Structure 1
Amino acid sequence: MKYILRKHMEEKVPLEIIYLSEQGKITQRKIQVLEIYPGHIHAFCFLRQTKRTFKMNNILSARLIKAKYDQSG
């Protein structure tokens, strides 16, 4: 997980995470990783439109956001 987060941070590429909140809710977030620390990350959250802190243990999955292609023509 840490490798994926670091790679996206270095390449400045947003990614999608599945996150377990402190209240036990599972949410899907699009983030831009800004800094990585032991146990947590600082990232820009596109859903909340602000910088947020995410605990590493609560990130259930992370993946590259695939570009959507226009197939109309």
Structure 2
Amino acid sequence: MEPTLVIAATSLLGLGLVAAALLRAWEGWLALKRRELDAIAAGHGAGEETRGAGRIALADLRERIRKLEAIANGMDL
């Protein structure tokens, strides 16, 4: 077997493993942000005076997640 072919195959395999690990980390980060959204939506720690601010923060986080999911899907914004 030719050494160049072995190096190319090994490099491709390594690149695939790194890409898979990064994708898994990205999905985990998105899941964390979704949990934050759920916590804000449930109103944990929000009183009457902070309800409006919580809604603004919730809308901001939802917009961020939409943008991140669009980036993850390869769409241009």
Q: Select the structure of larger CA radius of gyration.
A: 2
Q: Which has the higher strand share?
A: 1
TM-score normalised by the shorter chain: which range applies? Answer: under 0.3
User: TM-score with structure 2 length normalisation?
Assistant: 0.21
TM-score under structure 1 normalisation?
0.21
Higher helix share goes to which structure? 2
Q: Which structure would you say has the larger RCO, counting Cα contacts within 8 Å and 6 or more residues apart?
A: 1
